[in-house]
Chain A
């Protein structure tokens, strides 16, 4: 059995050279990574309902918490505005609604109601996109008789159409989908 022999010192030199190169890259410890402040996370949504007499009630959902029940009066008309926030950092709450308004063309708020006697339409003071289509950030809620059900709120990003009357017809990706229980009394 022949033994392995390095033919020249040059080979040995190459070996050492390669090991030296690899050592250059060696870091035994990494610096602590930077903590990421997650951006664009929508983890707080508020619905502010204002009645004819200018009394407003705000319902707030926070990520992880139970979705609040919207208790509203029968046969009333409310002007409702919706806001989206990134509340990851309690000392620096970011209002994402501003970004939605800035990119009104790419966004649409959409409501679906089940069982309850509530009709939701874009408000006269709603924010429109560049083509004059409403974003539904501000809506008028026309409430009928006592009932209960669900108001589902969607924030749709890049909808393929803004005129459909079902979620499926609007396309795009859903950024927020929340089922608010609604109690009309």
Chain B
């Protein structure tokens, strides 16, 4: 029974290169396993009409040449699979259609890409990170791996807190989706890294366009979708074991994964990661207290038959990160001295110990999913429960050092239903419903004012996406989404703050009690209705590649951090304040891109423009300093900018110079302004170039030399402040420059890897070979120290 099921599909691309009258057409394609999307080598491909036979190469590819524009039947056979036969009608029905028809069953697993046109799997190198690439980043952060994708950059707060930035947007404006469910810890503010472990991840995709609406209507940047491997219904036990050493921090890691699959379709497995690192080093000094300790694990089981799948998964993620000692400040005076010193004020001998200040994040997730696939439709139902816990330990007095200064626990329930249908050959319809209930708890035993208050949030959404691809050369899509968002928060406001901000007039009815310590207890109920829409089109301009266009309107409700933040971020001696008056942020975004994938030349040129109304940003307040505290702190407030515009361009180029040599280059540039003024914290121009050598035989040896150039950001607002130093009995007031971006920098890297045998894989990587001392504008710790210097990473991987 099981044997008769289809285990692979053909991924075929047709090309009409030459004069249509002659028999000079080429048909090339790739055969992939339907379940794990891996290329199938040695599959037999037969062109029935001409009786031409071929075996696919190690990448599952095949090429037939000298064909006429007529209907052909392609038969594909592989020892492990059932024979697949497809008729290809050259003149009307393109080969891509053939692929589509089979592909529908697997659309969400493999077809999801940039514009989510089915053909766009071809531009996967732009928006897709596959296991091979991920394997090289296994021991690093999600943000590091994502930076491989054009248009995706990383934003750092400290060395282990790395967040992705997509086309200039980060945090709450992008979504990180794991197995279809959005990770919820963004809602707490800016300095949180996503709780994602790269071990055991099959592939990561960045989704933009209409299909992003499946995950939310508030996603301006894009969706980072993390997909698990799909299990094959055969008796097999496989897995891998990796270990390695990082010279930076004398870091070590051990990663293990194992999966057992059975003929019946049952499968189960687990994976674990242990990572440990001590203090990192900048070229000239130790970055004290930058150690890092991580433990992650995942267990799953389920059953996958071709038409049905269910899966149960539990995962945990625990990460303890030291915050650079020199970044712990008391007052703006400390910040002023730190900036003038131009190097960290606290440099201690190297250590593996993580002391206060430190951050501890814990994430747990239970996921239940059921999925049913038919020839022309599929649906899935999913339930997910996640807890996100974040604790921050500060340098305090006495026993308080053992207690966190911030202790947030966010519990989220998600339930989701998605339905995909293919009523006709050219049309595909997707729709879905989702509901979410959140409970945030902020532990009062910290003895510190809550940064984020206790709240309950309920969200519910419904979406519809239609895709129309009448021919190989044209495709269109449209998406609509509606979200209801309700927040019910109970928050204490200092009576003095309450008055200063004018809440005593506008929000007087929200007071429910008067506390004993000079606070009002208030209940803030907020309701938002968000409508979002997206439309896109793709036209194939034979010679130039595919021209894609997407326009989207998104509406985003202010999140709890933006509404209610009220507290001190010690690392920047900044007080962050929310604003109860915030309205929804609306964006209209247009992206136009030209993409070409060919044997020698591959490129993606994409331009984007986003116009915001009521853009929410954390900006320094007019007075800049909050003098009401015992000493001065910088103050930033979530503010609504009436108009903001982001314009940018991303270019990605990949050329095959010789059979074994590739050259790759990428560029990202972003220009943004709000009411004619530059905006803060925007990524500067970045250009990277790489030369890659791959030895012919099974990619056994790979060598990559790369350079990354990051320009100096020249457009930034002035947020400087004055501080009076006391020097030789004199008060000297000077301007403290916290606005000027750091200088441009250029880094060289070298990566060598060798597949010693089928099972053993070794890699050696040098980052920042020249040990260049540099600072990055997007790193909020740039005021205190330079970035890390040279790093040598060695890793060994054993697969079984």
A155-182 with Cβ < 8 A to chain B: 157-158, 160, 166-168, 171-179
Interface size on A, residues (CB 8 A): 61
Name, among A11, A45, A64, A174, the residue most crowded by chain B CB atoms within 10 Å (CB to CB). A174
- Collect the chain B residues with CB atoms within 8 Å of residue A96's CB: 397
**Is B502 an interface residue, CB under 8 A from the partner?**
no
- Decide: A64 near B496, CB < 8 A? Known: A2-B421, A112-B726, A176-B630: yes
B413 touches A22 (CB 8 A): yes
- Collect the chain A residues with CB atoms within 8 Å of residue B341's CB: 168
- Collect the chain B residues with CB atoms within 8 Å of residue A157's CB: 330, 395, 397
**Bound: A73/B629 CA distance, A:** 31
- Collect the chain B residues with CB atoms within 8 Å of residue A43's CB: 629-630
**Bound: A173/B330 CA distance, A:** 5
Partner of A166, one of B370, B396, B727: B727
A173 touches B395 (CB 8 A): yes
**Is A102 an interface residue, CB under 8 A from the partner?**
yes
- Decide: A35 near B419, CB < 8 A? Known: A21-B383, A173-B395, A177-B333: no
**Bound: A7/B415 CA distance, A:** 21
- Collect the chain A residues with CB atoms within 8 Å of residue B340's CB: 168
Partner of A167, one of B333, B631, B731: B333
A173 touches B328 (CB 8 A): yes
B331 touches A174 (CB 8 A): yes
- Decide: A63 near B413, CB < 8 A? Known: A36-B448, A177-B333: no
B397 touches A27 (CB 8 A): no
**Is B468 an interface residue, CB under 8 A from the partner?**
no
**Is B518 an interface residue, CB under 8 A from the partner?**
yes
B377 touches A178 (CB 8 A): no
**Is B270 an interface residue, CB under 8 A from the partner?**
no
**Bound: A2/B374 CA distance, A:** 10
A14 touches B439 (CB 8 A): no
Which of B71-79, B229-237, B259-267, B509-517 contacts its partner? B509-517
**A80 CB to closest chain B CB, in angstroms?**
18
- Decide: A103 near B398, CB < 8 A? Known: A30-B439, A168-B341: yes
A89 touches B630 (CB 8 A): no
Partner of A35, one of B379, B437, B519: B519
**Bound: A50/B679 CA distance, A:** 54
**Is B36 an interface residue, CB under 8 A from the partner?**
no
**Is B428 an interface residue, CB under 8 A from the partner?**
no
**Is B792 an interface residue, CB under 8 A from the partner?**
no
Which of B449-457, B591-599, B653-661 contacts its partner? B449-457
Partner of B337, one of A2, A25, A64, A168: A168
**Bound: A174/B335 CA distance, A:** 10
B570 and chain A: residue at smallest CB distance: A173
Partner of B396, one of A40, A174, A176: A40
Q: How does the 8 Å CB contact mask read for A20-38 relative to B, with 1 for contact and 0 for none?
A: 0110011111101111111
**Bound: A112/B730 CA distance, A:** 10
- Decide: A102 near B398, CB < 8 A? Known: A7-B372, A25-B413, A174-B333: yes
A109-127 with Cβ < 8 A to chain B: 112-115
- Decide: A173 near B397, CB < 8 A? Known: A63-B629, A89-B517, A168-B337: no
- Decide: A177 near B632, CB < 8 A? Known: A32-B521, A166-B727: yes
**Is B400 an interface residue, CB under 8 A from the partner?**
yes
- Collect the chain A residues with CB atoms within 8 Å of residue B442's CB: 33
Partner of A174, one of B330, B515, B517: B330
B346 touches A171 (CB 8 A): yes
**B314 CB to closest chain A CB, in angstroms?**
14
**A52 CB to closest chain B CB, in angstroms?**
26
Name, among A18, A29, A166, the residue most crowded by chain B CB atoms within 10 Å (CB to CB). A18
B731 and chain A: residue at smallest CB distance: A114
**Bound: A171/B548 CA distance, A:** 56
Partner of B383, one of A11, A22, A39: A22
- Collect the chain B residues with CB atoms within 8 Å of residue A28's CB: 456
A39 touches B630 (CB 8 A): no
**A17 CB to closest chain B CB, in angstroms?**
9
**Is A183 an interface residue, CB under 8 A from the partner?**
no
A65 and chain B: residue at smallest CB distance: B628
- Collect the chain B residues with CB atoms within 8 Å of residue A167's CB: 333, 337, 726
**Is B109 an interface residue, CB under 8 A from the partner?**
no
Partner of A150, one of B447, B453, B731: B731
**B598 CB to closest chain A CB, in angstroms?**
38
**Is A140 an interface residue, CB under 8 A from the partner?**
no
Interface residues on B, range: 35 or more
A33 touches B454 (CB 8 A): yes
- Collect the chain A residues with CB atoms within 8 Å of residue B667's CB: none
**Is B24 an interface residue, CB under 8 A from the partner?**
no
**A163 CB to closest chain B CB, in angstroms?**
16
B293-339 with Cβ < 8 A to chain A: 328-331, 333-334, 337
Main SS of chain A's interface residues?
Answer: loop
**Bound: A38/B442 CA distance, A:** 14
B397 touches A99 (CB 8 A): yes
**Bound: A96/B415 CA distance, A:** 50
**A3 CB to closest chain B CB, in angstroms?**
9
- Collect the chain B residues with CB atoms within 8 Å of residue A32's CB: 490, 512-513, 521
B437 touches A4 (CB 8 A): no
Name, among A29, A150, A152, A167, the residue most crowded by chain B CB atoms within 10 Å (CB to CB). A167
B447 touches A174 (CB 8 A): no
A114 touches B448 (CB 8 A): no
A18 touches B381 (CB 8 A): yes
**Bound: A14/B379 CA distance, A:** 14
Partner of B377, one of A4, A29, A112, A115: A4
- Decide: A63 near B395, CB < 8 A? Known: A113-B729, A152-B726, A157-B330: no
Partner of A22, one of B370, B415, B491, B516: B415
**Is B616 an interface residue, CB under 8 A from the partner?**
no
**B356 CB to closest chain A CB, in angstroms?**
10
B519-548 with Cβ < 8 A to chain A: 519, 521
A36 touches B439 (CB 8 A): no
B717-764 with Cβ < 8 A to chain A: 724, 726-727, 729-731
Partner of A176, one of B337, B492, B631: B631
A177 touches B518 (CB 8 A): no
B515 touches A103 (CB 8 A): no
- Collect the chain A residues with CB atoms within 8 Å of residue B449's CB: 36, 38
- Collect the chain A residues with CB atoms within 8 Å of residue B397's CB: 40, 96, 99-100, 103, 106, 157
**Is A184 an interface residue, CB under 8 A from the partner?**
no
- Collect the chain A residues with CB atoms within 8 Å of residue B396's CB: 40
B42-98 with Cβ < 8 A to chain A: none
Name, among A7, A64, A89, A172, the residue most crowded by chain B CB atoms within 10 Å (CB to CB). A172
- Collect the chain B residues with CB atoms within 8 Å of residue A21's CB: 383, 385
**Is B376 an interface residue, CB under 8 A from the partner?**
yes
**B421 CB to closest chain A CB, in angstroms?**
7
B330 touches A88 (CB 8 A): no
- Collect the chain B residues with CB atoms within 8 Å of residue A63's CB: 628-630
B631 touches A177 (CB 8 A): yes
A113 and chain B: residue at smallest CB distance: B729
Q: How does the 8 Å CB contact mask read for A79-90 relative to B, with 1 for contact and 0 for none?
A: 000000000110
Q: A33-B444, A33-B450 are in contact. List 16 more A-B contacts (CB 8 A).
A: A4-B419, A14-B370, A18-B381, A19-B415, A25-B437, A33-B491, A33-B521, A39-B400, A43-B629, A102-B398, A113-B729, A152-B726, A166-B727, A174-B334, A175-B630, A175-B631
Which residues of B does A touch, CB under 8 Å? 328-331, 333-334, 337, 340-341, 345-346, 368, 370, 372, 374, 376-377, 379, 381, 383, 385, 395-398, 400, 411, 413, 415, 419, 421, 423, 435, 437, 439, 442, 444, 446-450, 453-456, 488, 490-492, 496, 512-513, 515-519, 521, 628-632, 724, 726-727, 729-731
Interface CB pairs A-B, < 8 A, 23: A1-B423, A2-B421, A4-B419, A14-B381, A18-B381, A25-B385, A25-B411, A28-B456, A32-B521, A33-B491, A36-B447, A39-B400, A99-B397, A99-B398, A112-B726, A114-B730, A150-B726, A166-B727, A167-B337, A173-B395, A174-B631, A175-B631, A177-B330
Q: Which 6 A-B pairs have the closest CB atoms?
A: A174-B330, A39-B447, A173-B330, A35-B515, A112-B726, A1-B423
